Structure 1
Amino acid sequence: MKLKYLLVGSILLLLLISAGCGNKSAAGGEVFTAASAKNTDSKINVRMVKLLVEDQTDHEVEITEDLPASPQIFAGLERDEFDFAGLFSGEVYNNYFDEVEYSTDPEETLEQAQTYFGEEYDIKWYDPLGFVNNYSIAIPKEVAEDNNIETVSELGEYADVMDLGTDNAWIERDNDGYQEFQETYGYKFKDARGMDASLMYKGIENGDLDVVTAYTVDPQLKEYDLKVLEDDKQFFPPYEASIIATNSVLEEYPEVDEVVESLVNVVSTEEMTDLIYQVDIEGKNINEVTKQFLEEKDMID
């Protein structure tokens, strides 16, 4: 009987040891979790974190991706499921906090995101990675060059003979939708059609559309040779990309904080557009694309 209890105790001890080892990296560090939404730029952002942390520390990072939207990331943070994520400053305007004051100023938007999300979820919202992914107005580069159009204001001279393609949501959006756009810039297009994004880009390719509302890192901007016009009246709210991390991880592992800080201002909007183009249009492996980018920046060997 004593032998039976001894064997049972030994097995339980081994199970406890195994369970503890399951949270350790191969090098003896911790295993963290990074969350990403469905968009390719967010996936690249957390892969940069993973590659750098694993290159420069004994820790590892597991990625949970294709979450439907940011609310699922914040819910995971509340449940202590995630240690890192890639998010955007303009998210602060999506009805999380009553006291937020709407602004299209990048610094004000970032400050509010860092303050309110930081306090609510006990996280550090890092300074931006260097690129933005917000609404923009885009036209064929050839049209822009032939008519010397650089800004959204300058487009107004031709808008009454131009057809606009946009997603359905923008037609009805508050704050930064089409109605407010007309009030800010003082003109409207000949026609504004809501549609799926793929149809929107096909429409401008075959000449059925003259203008589209694009996200600033859409790979189709490169694929169809489109020019993003300068939002000279700062109409669209900024969605600057940042990494966030839980304060509990950063306090216990300050070396991780140093690694993530090194990603501030590392990738421009043009560079991110190119990275997404390689993944989404050329079909390259997202891990290899991200790794090559960091190698070219001399951030990993």
Structure 2
Amino acid sequence: MRRGLPAAALAAAAVLLAGCGLKPASAFIPHIEPGSIRPVPNLKDATIRVTSKEFTEQIILGKIAVLALTAAGANAVDRTNVQGSVTARKSVVNGDNDLMWEYTGTGWITYLGQENPVPDPQKQFQAVRDLDMKRNRIAWLPPPAPLNNTYAMAVTAANQKRFGLTDLADMTKVPAAQRTFCVDPEFFARNDGLRGMLKAYGLSYGSSVPATNVRQMSSGVVYNAVSSGKCTFGEVFTTDGRIQALRLHVLGDSKHFFPNYNPAITVRDSVLRAHPELTALFAQISPKLTTGVMRNLNSKVDVNGDDPVFVARDWMREQGLIK
């Protein structure tokens, strides 16, 4: 897709891209020059293998890491776009790759098997950092990015205004007949999904939210379903570019029900010991990655059809990190 499409076309593009999946990202590394990221003598010609998961945001973050390492003088090997979280993670743990961006909530719950997320983002980062180092000798580089790619509920601007919706606590303002939800099957089934969210905010599935008020569909279809009025509330991921393209509004989570998913660079301890400068290198980047920034970058790929490596490069140039 190209820029300048009308809103209806953007909506259709979002659904089509979600259904078809992102076209494979290339391992091409464009020519760049150092900006505020300066060459690091200890990284000169050091081979650092970067991996990522296969979804848009992870690929963009992976490209950012590749370009940052290249600007610092390393021989960055692009192994981004790996199918599945566990596969990418194992490749770092077992030494096939060296580093990747990972989310604090994923590390804590999926990899470390913890059932209770930590509400405070910084304390969650510290907890996953300490336990992952102890168990797996995997280092999490501070600081984590402020962006939080977690679950949320989104509504249209019209419904936000009509019912006065700014937070999940406001779901009770909507009459029961119009308290409708579009969610994917996984979110519907999870203990920390729909039922848990409703309970946390004083509602219950089957009574104050009748079963007939909940529609299950693939996660990619939810965005357009909310936008077109098929339901009042839709399950979204907070950094998804379709939120911006479809002008949806994300509701706050005042009770901190959903876990924090803040990304940080994860790297094997042996690699970090050999190249401790990696911490300072990525500390220049992480604070700039907010939820709004990531949503915009994701939109450039998922809605406009841009190549992730050029999206990453252009953003890094805008920030003065590279030239």
Task: Give TM-score, length-normalised by structure 1.
Answer: 0.84
Of residues 92-101 and 164-173 in structure 1, the stretch that sits farther from structure 2 once superposed is 92-101
SS at match of 1:63: strand
Moved more, 219-228 or 109-118: 109-118
- The runs of 5 or more residues in structure 2 that have no matched partner are 1-42
Mapped partners of 2:110, 2:223: distance in 1: 30
Q: Which amino acid aligns with 2:256?
A: Q
Q: Confirm or deny: 8 A CA contact 2:171 2:179 kept in the other structure.
A: no
Given the alignment of the two structures, is residue 65 of structure 1 paired with residue 63 of structure 2, yes or no? no
How far apart are the structure 1 equivalents of 2:150 and 2:113? Answer: 22
Q: 1:108 matched to which residue of 2?
A: 123
Q: Which amino acid aligns with 2:46?
A: E
DSSP-derived class of the 1:66 partner: coil
3-state DSSP of counterpart to 2:126:
helix
Out of 182-191 and 272-281, give the one that drifted further. 182-191
Q: What are the ranges of 5 or more consecutive residues in structure 1 without an aligned counterpart?
A: 1-26
The 1:263–1:140 alpha-carbon spacing in structure 2 relative to 1, beyond 3 Å, is same
CA contact (8 A) 1:164 1:212 kept: yes
Question: What is the DSSP-based 3-state SS (H/G/I as helix, E as strand, rest coil) of the residue aligned with 1:265?
Answer: helix
Q: Distance in 1 between matches of 2:57 and 2:185?
A: 22
Q: Which amino acid aligns with 1:113?
A: V
Task: Tell me: CA distance 1:294–1:166, structure 2 relative to 1, closer, same or farther (3 Å).
Answer: same
Which range moved further: 91-100 or 124-133? 91-100
2:289 maps to which residue?
267
Q: Is 1:164 the counterpart of 2:181 in the alignment?
A: yes
CA distance in 1, matches of 2:277, 2:238: 33
* Contact in 2 for aligned 1:89/1:239 (Cα 8 Å): yes
1:98 Cα deviation after fit:
5.3
Larger relative contact order, structure 1 or 2 (CA cutoff 8 Å, min sep 6): 2
User: Which residue is equivalent to 2:14?
Assistant: none
Q: How far did 1:135 drift?
A: 0.2
Contact in 2 for aligned 1:100/1:112 (Cα 8 Å)? no
Match of 2:238 in 1: 216
Identity of aligned residues (%): 19
Q: Mapping of 1:33-72 within 5 angstroms?
A: 33-56=49-72, 58-72=73-87
Give how far 1:44 is off. 1.4
TM-score (norm 2): 0.79
**1:225-282 deviations in whole A, cap 9, x for unaligned?**
1000110111111111111122222222233332122222111101100000001110
Q: Equivalent of 1:287, from 302, 305, 309? A: 309
SS in 2 for 1:165: strand
User: In 1, Cα distance between the equivalents of 2:190 and 2:297?
Assistant: 29
**What is the letter of the counterpart of residue 219 of structure 2?**
A
Larger deviation, residues 212-221 vs 92-101: 92-101
**Are the aligned partners of 2:159 and 2:232 in contact in 1 as well (CA < 8 Å)?**
no
What is the aligned partner in structure 2 of residue 138 from structure 1? 154
CA distance in 2, matches of 1:99, 1:276: 29
User: Is the 1:275–1:289 Cα contact (8 Å) retained in structure 2?
Assistant: yes
Secondary structure at the residue paired with 2:69?
Answer: helix
SS of the residue aligned with 1:67? coil
Match of 2:257 among 216, 224, 235: 235
Q: Is the 8 A contact 1:36 1:63 kept in 2?
A: no
Offset from partner CA, 1:159-198 (integer Å, 9 cap, x none): 5222100110111112x22221122101254511221123
Structure 1 pair 276–251 and aligned structure 2 pair: CA distance change class (3 A): same
Q: Deviations over 1:77-113 (max 9, x none)?
A: 2321111101100013435435664433323322221
The counterpart of 1:76, out of the listed 74, 91, 95, is 91
Structure with higher Rg: it is 1
Shift of 1:294: 0.9
- The SS at the match of 2:149 is coil
**Structure 1 residues 62 and 84: alpha-carbon distance in aligned structure 2, compared to 1, 3 A threshold:** same
Alignment partners' CA distance in 1, 2:320 and 2:308: 19
Structure 1: which amino acid aligns with 2:78?
I
Map 1:146-225; keep pairs closer than 5 Å: 146-158=162-174, 160=176, 161-174=178-191, 176-187=192-203, 188-190=208-210, 191-225=213-247
Counterparts of 1:168 and 1:130, CA distance in 2? 28
TM-aligned CA distance change 1:257 to 1:93, over 3 Å: closer
Deviates more, 1:97-106 or 1:218-227: 97-106
Residue 17 of structure 1 is matched in structure 2 by none
Aligned partners of 2:116, 2:180: CA distance in 1, in Å? Answer: 33
Correspondence for 1:85: 100
